[in-house]
A and B are shown apart, each in its own frame.
Chain A
Amino acid sequence: MTALHRLPIAKLSALMAGGELSAVQLTRHMLDRIARHDGTLMSHIHLNAAALDEARAADQRRRRGDRVGPLLGIPVSVKDNYFSTGMPTTAGTRAPGIAFEQSDSACVERLRAAGCVFLGKTRTHEFAWGTVTDPVANPWDTNRIPGGSSGGSGAAVAAGLACAALGSDTGGSIRIPASLCGTVGLKPTFGRVSRHGIVPHSWSLDHPGPLARNVDDAAIMLQALAGYDPRDPACQDRPMPDYRRGLKRNVRGLRIGVVENHFLDRNLPSVQALFDAAVADLARDGAQIVRVQAPSLRYGLGAIFAIELASSSAWHDRWVRDGTTAHYTSDVRDLVEMGRLVSAVDYLKAEQVRTVMMEEFRGIFEKVDVVATPTEPLTAWRKGEWTVDIAGAPESVLAASWRLTYPFNLTGLPAITVPCGFDADGMPAGLQIAARPFDEAAVLRVAAHYERSHDWSARTPPGFD
């Protein structure tokens, strides 16, 4: 019999609806796993003392016959940059004098309304800057990093310590840890999910979204999270599709674009081979593979640096001026201080490049329905390593780790990562699928088809069965 922490949300929900499982039993099971494993993984920075009370309340709601969806009684965790009533928020910083309010962010509010039980807050790289998320360990090899900045969420979901978790993604921070930890990670379209109550990193790049154990769970989470919120000025009032409806469709006749430049330029051979095999499998299953180019990506790194650094420095400005940033970790301190060096002209040229890039992808989506890329050019690296040899040249792991994800933050397009295999060291790699704005249904459909035709998601990290 499959262990509770490996069952999909829909199955857990069915067991609870049938009276074979209670939210209290499931929550106890997850809390026991956290107690057993999180001393090693360090995925949570705070555990919710009210988790079992919330589970009891969920069971009462079910007994009362409340008509709620599949998330009633499902234990989830929340990245430590989302405000949450009853659970403190630190955004991963220990700098003195910085405190955040204890009210619910829009996403926590929505999950609470859907009946989720909150297990706790997961660790983030400080202020969601960076891809290491110290001291969190990767469940597939605890000597390796989990990715970031939502590294705690990635490790917790991969190890079966939470049914799903919230992450946030400014340059790849949902998809990077999801890929490196072997989970599904979904960055919805900018404006699909409210950012209200999330500690800002970069206003026009921040995307909230879920990390989950499979594509159906990600769709269930998105269904609860998405929707208009006037408190987020970028949130759009658009119709809400049923995100699970198309998950059983195959990819026959679908046009899948492979962007030949940038995304295939500098990947580890092992990751490239897994991506090539995934594309071949999609073609075998009836998808039409179309080779395309996106030349403006040559300017993408400069553009995202200009926008992200300037925005982050503007938000941290009071703490730069009063010297609080001296208490940040050194990498984050450098980044939030150097944004002052980005000129307004360079910032606006970056925003012009963004328009060019969005136009270019619009052209691509006239030829294809989705694009497929590797999520990461590499797999999880060992803690303490700062460079990796790719294509015969050393490269900073931090620079490499967001290369294939940030284009979809600049363009705001929906993008998902789904596990697509393991390298020779047993570390997972991810397949990234992106689509037109607000076409989350397309990325979920392709990811679900791919997941269904492979057993990658069924594998569990050794020692975390």
Chain B
Amino acid sequence: MFLSNDHPEEGSPIDPADLSGLDLPAERLLAVHSAFRPILDEIRKLRELELQAIHPAVIFEPTAVYRERGK
């Protein structure tokens, strides 16, 4: 393992709530999943795309925090 093999739950699937960070009561989680389902259908279309050569429209700009503040 990359970090540690001292994990008590090793061998069992990771809790989906832990993966997403959405720690809600089961009933509420179901409601959120239900509302998300049609949106996931749209997001799933992105997965069909081969975009390896395309840079995402996100720019890391290390000088941004040095800009003059307070004006």
Residues of A within 8 Å of B39, CB to CB, are 305, 309, 338
Which residues in chain B, 48-64, are within 8 Å of chain A measured between CB atoms?
A: 49, 51, 54-58, 61, 64
Q: How many A-B residue pairs have CB under 8 A?
A: 87
Q: A231-B71, A303-B46 are in contact. Are A352 and B24 (CB under 8 A)?
A: no
Residues of B within 8 Å of A303, CB to CB, are 46
Residue of A nearest to B57 (CB): A354
Question: Is A301's CB under 8 angstroms from B46's CB?
Answer: no
- Give the size of the chain A interface in residues (CB under 8 angstroms): 33
Whether B7 is near chain A, meaning CB under 8 Å from some CB there, is no
Whether A413 is near chain B, meaning CB under 8 Å from some CB there, is no
How far, in angstroms, from A335 to B58 measured CA to CA in the complex?
Answer: 23
Instruction: Choose one: B36, B54, B55; the contact of A341 (CB below 8 Å).
Output: B36
Residues of B within 8 Å of A354, CB to CB, are 56-57
How far, in angstroms, from A403 to B45 measured CA to CA in the complex?
Answer: 17
Residue of A nearest to B21 (CB): A340
Residue of A nearest to B52 (CB): A352
Contact string against B for A residues 409-439, beta-carbon threshold 8 Å, 1 for contact and 0 otherwise: 0000000000000000000000000000000
Question: Is B32's CB under 8 angstroms from A341's CB?
Answer: yes
Which residues in chain A, 186-214, are within 8 Å of chain B measured between CB atoms?
A: 204
Whether A384 is near chain B, meaning CB under 8 Å from some CB there, is no
Question: Is B43's CB under 8 angstroms from A337's CB?
Answer: no
Question: Is B32's CB under 8 angstroms from A230's CB?
Answer: no
Whether A141 is near chain B, meaning CB under 8 Å from some CB there, is no
Question: Is B22's CB under 8 angstroms from A355's CB?
Answer: no
Whether A299 is near chain B, meaning CB under 8 Å from some CB there, is yes
Minimal beta-carbon separation of A396 from chain B (angstroms): 9
Question: Is B46's CB under 8 angstroms from A233's CB?
Answer: no
Instruction: Choose one: A230, A305, A337; the contact of B24 (CB below 8 Å).
Output: A337
Minimal beta-carbon separation of A341 from chain B (angstroms): 5
Contact stretch, chosen from A21-29, A155-163, A258-266, A343-351: A343-351
Instruction: Choose one: A204, A306, A352, A356; the contact of B43 (CB below 8 Å).
Output: A306
Residues of A within 8 Å of B42, CB to CB, are 301-302, 305
Whether B20 is near chain A, meaning CB under 8 Å from some CB there, is yes
Instruction: Choose one: A230, A233, A321, A334; the contact of B35 (CB below 8 Å).
Output: A334
Residues of B within 8 Å of A352, CB to CB, are 49, 51, 54-57
Residues of B within 8 Å of A204, CB to CB, are 57-58
Question: Is B35's CB under 8 angstroms from A338's CB?
Answer: yes
Residues of B within 8 Å of A348, CB to CB, are 56, 58
Residues of A within 8 Å of B45, CB to CB, are 298-299, 302
Minimal beta-carbon separation of A329 from chain B (angstroms): 13
Whether A358 is near chain B, meaning CB under 8 Å from some CB there, is yes
Q: A337-B24, A346-B43 are in contact. Are A231 and B54 (CB under 8 A)?
A: no
Instruction: Choose one: B54, B61, B67; the contact of A230 (CB below 8 Å).
Output: B67
Question: Is B58's CB under 8 angstroms from A337's CB?
Answer: no
Minimal beta-carbon separation of A442 from chain B (angstroms): 23
Minimal beta-carbon separation of A437 from chain B (angstroms): 13
Whether A353 is near chain B, meaning CB under 8 Å from some CB there, is yes
Residues of B within 8 Å of A335, CB to CB, are 35
How far, in angstroms, from A340 to B24 measured CA to CA in the complex?
Answer: 11
Whether A289 is near chain B, meaning CB under 8 Å from some CB there, is no
Minimal beta-carbon separation of B70 from chain A (angstroms): 7
Minimal beta-carbon separation of B45 from chain A (angstroms): 5
Whether A229 is near chain B, meaning CB under 8 Å from some CB there, is yes
Question: Is A302's CB under 8 angstroms from B64's CB?
Answer: no
Residue of A nearest to B34 (CB): A334
Instruction: Choose one: A298, A321, A353; the contact of B51 (CB below 8 Å).
Output: A353
Minimal beta-carbon separation of B11 from chain A (angstroms): 24
Minimal beta-carbon separation of A131 from chain B (angstroms): 16
Instruction: Choose one: B23, B35, B54, B67; the contact of A355 (CB below 8 Å).
Output: B54
Question: Is B64's CB under 8 angstroms from A233's CB?
Answer: yes
How far, in angstroms, from A417 to B21 measured CA to CA in the complex?
Answer: 40
Q: A230-B71, A334-B32, A348-B58 are in contact. Are A341 and B46 (CB under 8 A)?
A: no
Given A349-B49, A352-B56, 7 more A-B residue pairs with CB atoms under 8 Å apart are A321-B23, A334-B31, A334-B32, A334-B35, A346-B46, A348-B58, A350-B43
